[in-house]
Amino acid sequence: MSFIRKLTEKLKKSSNSSTTTDLTKDARSSQPIIITTTAKLVEEPPLPTKTPAARAQASVQTRGVIVQNNDKRASKVRQKYQLTDFHIDRTLGTGSFGRVHMVRLKSTGKFYAMKVLIKNDVVRMKQVEHTINERNILARLDYPFLVNMLGTLQDSANLYFVLEFIQGGELFTHLRKSGRFRNNVALFYAGEVILAFEYLHNRDIIYRDLKPENCLIDAKGHIKITDFGFAKEVPDITWTLCGTPDYLAPEIIQSKGYGKAVDWWACGILIYEMLAGHPPFYDDDHFKLYEKILACKPKFPSHFDPNAKDLVKRILTTDLTKRYGNLKSGVEDIKRHPWFNELDWQALEDCKIPAPYLPPCSKEGDASNFDEYPEDYEPYGLPGPDPYKSKFLDF
């Protein structure tokens, strides 16, 4: 318990976190707050200089640990681009070290998303290996419910990920607008996330940052998980403390070694949040939030589907020998649970099940499903010194 207190104090010190209780991105505990440190709470680097918008969004950024990249099987990135190949358009989202733009490839006129990371921040926050890891894992992925990366590039100041542009916006926005999802809607999205995790775990990749902000909806209404900033190849167990407070599994908070089961825990939180409209455990005070997670007594609203409640309870268990997803039959226990009785998993994977919601996408390049952000960033592609060149040779 003293560990949580220490962690909480550390967070408070470095946080300008809000004291409101609403569930907007800026206020709730699952906003893009990212805690990364080791179980030993190593000295954390100073916060990066950010634009006001990014600062408002990311109230705590104590990323301090490098994730070892041992992904020997990383495939070659498919294509090499140059920054001048693209028109840079509006901002779609602000990330921890930069922002994500809609861009247009001049040669074809096609739209993409471009995640920009500022090298200086990546290095200062000791995220070099981590960022390389993000790139190598993205390069390996090929699955309908995971965002597809087309390539990476860099200039002297920044790193750029070129991703397919997922037009329908964040599941977060859709959920907040709806309040909560009907049972069949939540079931559809949960099913696609579960298949995506099955794909990742079969490749020994833990995702570690599931939340509605990182789940995008494509133009046909299917889930595309983005943001592999915390993904890691972990055949057995790992110790890095990272994630988003509302979604942290108890074993992460307790600084135990942990494995793929943390993703199933986060899945349980997501199912609950989709059906209830708020996460099962939340509190403005991180210390209290972590206590609630460890006590693990979620309260279910009366409208909650009884089968969904049963499944969530079987996933949100602190006892790893009982947690669904982590037992002998693995993901099958989840897929065969009565909540999914009506679901044809093969049809779901083949995208043959019509999505419950089609986002309004009037034409290619319509980014109206994304929030607007101030466009106050440093211009890209300016000539200048590249002191970190040797750190990103493969990028």
Ligand X SMILES: Nc1ncnc2c1ncn2[C@@H]1O[C@H](COP(=O)(O)OP(=O)(O)O)[C@@H](O)[C@H]1O
Comparing CB distances to ligand X, the nearer of 113 and 308 is: 113
Binding residues for ATP: 115
From 121-129, 211-219, 318-326, 385-393, give the range in contact with ligand X by CB under 6 A.
211-219
Instruction: Give catalytic status of residue 209 as yes or no.
Output: yes
Work out whether 243 is an interface residue with ligand X (CB under 6 A).
no
Written as one letter, the residue type at 174 is H
User: What is the C-alpha separation between 164 and 314, in angstroms, rounded?
Assistant: 35
Question: Least distance from C-beta 375 to Mg ion, angstroms?
Answer: 19
**Which of 220, 211, 96 has its CA nearest to residue 167?**
220
Starting at the edge strand that comes first in sequence, how are the strands of the sheet with 98-105 ordered? 86-94, 98-105, 111-118, 158-164, 149-154
Work out whether 67 is an interface residue with ligand X (CB under 6 A).
no
Write out the H or E segment, with its range, that includes residue 348.
Answer: helix 345-349
Q: Are 188 and 355 in contact (CB under 8 A)?
A: yes
Comparing CB distances to ligand X, the nearer of 115 and 260 is: 115
Work out whether 216 is an interface residue with ligand X (CB under 6 A).
yes
What's 379's DSSP letter? P
Comparing CB distances to ligand X, the nearer of 95 and 325 is: 95
Work out whether 163 is an interface residue with ligand X (CB under 6 A).
yes
Comparing CB distances to ligand X, the nearer of 171 and 334 is: 171
Work out whether 246 is an interface residue with ligand X (CB under 6 A).
no
Considering CB under 6 A, how many residues would be counted as binding ligand X?
Answer: 20
Residue 196 interaction partner, one of ligand X, Mg ion, none, beta carbon < 5-8 Å per kind = none
What's 85's DSSP letter? G
Q: What is the CA radius of gyration of the chain?
A: 20
Q: Are 384 and 156 in contact (CB under 8 A)?
A: yes
Q: Are 58 and 96 in contact (CB under 8 A)?
A: yes
Q: Which of 209, 218, 227, 246 is catalytic?
A: 209
Maximum CA pair distance of the chain? Answer: 60
Site for ligand X in 122-161 (CB under 6 A): 147
User: What is the C-alpha separation between 38 and 3, in angstroms, rounded?
Assistant: 11
Determine which residue in the list 64, 151, 229, 325 makes contact with ligand X, applying CB under 6 A. Answer: 229
Question: Least distance from C-beta 215 to Mg ion, angstroms?
Answer: 10
Determine which residue in the list 103, 166, 187, 205 makes contact with ligand X, applying CB under 6 A. Answer: 166
Comparing CB distances to ligand X, the nearer of 192 and 213 is: 213
Determine which residue in the list 89, 134, 227, 349 makes contact with Mg ion, applying CB under 5 A. Answer: 227
User: What is the C-alpha separation between 191 and 391, in angstroms, rounded?
Assistant: 39
**DSSP reduced 3-state for 339:** helix
User: What is the C-alpha separation between 240 and 232, in angstroms, rounded?
Assistant: 10
* Interface with Mg ion (CB under 5 A): 214, 227
**Which residues does the annotation mark as catalytic?**
209
* Interface with ligand X (CB under 6 A): 32, 92-93, 95-96, 100, 113, 115, 147, 163-166, 170, 213-214, 216, 226-227, 229
